[in-house]
Amino acid sequence: MKFLLTSAGVRNPSISGALVDLLGKPIAESRALIVPTGVHPFPGGTDQAWQAISGTGPSPMGDLGWKSLGVLELTALPTIREENWLPAVREADALLVWGGDVLYLTYWMRKSGLADLLPSLSDIVYVGMSAGSIAVTPYNCDAEFDLQFVPDGSDMAAGAERALGLVDFALYPHLDDPDMEDTTSANIEKWASTVPVPTYAIDDETALKVVGGTVEVVSEGDWKLFNA
């Protein structure tokens, strides 16, 4: 599977160029599905989900000029016949996975069956944004934050620190964002020292392009690599 893992969407020409390269054709000739599921647990999640779908939010993904754009809501999939949603996934050129709550997102990726399906989608480009990018790594750097949104009595909190592990490195987005006190280089380095894989810290102008396990940093901003 091909990955374009971003901190805040396709924000600059370098990241856009990487996306086109992964697609193998222009965005205007490509079909995409957007996954807004991760924002539902947050206050204002309903508005944020609409921003993701409509392309009116601050992170460019759905508004890039796709040939077609559909919505894949993971919480609905367990109640739908597989033959009514699976073809749309297999026919898509890109899967746009929005940000939000990593724990909630990975929970529904597993429960919906999408997590098991992803490794077989060799031609699709997985485009992650923030939590959507963290979700495919082995470790959830937002676990402590996400736990506060788990409903009482839910089993969702089990294994909160683990994500899907579809790539072999960890990711910490929003490097040195002035509005996020946990994203300082010092804090990320401290967290990176607790996991047994390399950790990429990327700012909002940076993305990771991953093909066949090979990582290429695409950046018009700042990034750091902390070794295991």
pLDDT tens per residue across span 170-219: 999 999 999 998 999 999 999 999 999 999 999 999 999 999 999 999 99
Q: Say what the pTM is.
A: 0.96
One-letter identity of residue 214: T
Q: Looking at residue 201, what is its pLDDT?
A: 98
Q: If you average pLDDT over every residue of the chain, what do you get?
A: 95
pLDDT digits (tens, 9 = 90+) for 131-148: 999 999 999 999 999 999
pLDDT score of 25 more than 90: yes
- Residue 111, pLDDT > 90, answer yes
Closest CA relative to residue 133, chosen from 159, 157, 160, 109: 109
pLDDT at 24 over 90: yes
Residue 3 — pLDDT band, cuts 50, 70, 90? very high
What are the pLDDT digits (tens) for 148-171?
999 988 989 888 999 999 999 999
Predicted local distance difference test score (pLDDT) of residue 43: 92
Taking a C-beta distance cutoff of 8 angstroms, is the pair 194, 172 a contact?
no
Q: Are 37 and 104 in contact (CB under 8 A)?
A: yes
Closest CA to 196 of 165, 219, 228: 228
DSSP string, 45-113: HHHHHHHHHHT-SSS-STTS--SEEEE--GGGGGGS-GGGTHHHHHH-SEEEE--S-HHHHHHHHHHHT
58 — pLDDT class (breaks 50, 70, 90): confident
Q: Inform me whether the pLDDT recorded for 228 exceeds 90.
A: no
Domains and CATH numbers, the chain: 2-226 (3.40.50.880)
What is the rounded distance in angstroms from the CA atom of residue 195 to the CA atom of residue 117?
26
Burial class (CB in 10 A: 0-12, 13-18, 19+), 179: exposed
Please answer whether residues 88 and 70 qualify as being in contact, where contact means their C-beta atoms are separated by less than 8 angstroms: yes
Please check whether residue 143 is in contact with residue 160, taking contact to mean a CB–CB distance below 8 angstroms: yes
Measure the CA–CA gap between 125 and 68, rounded to whole angstroms. 15
The two counts, helices (H) then strands (E), for the chain are: 8, 10
pLDDT confidence of residue 153? 87
Mean pLDDT value across residues 116-129: 96
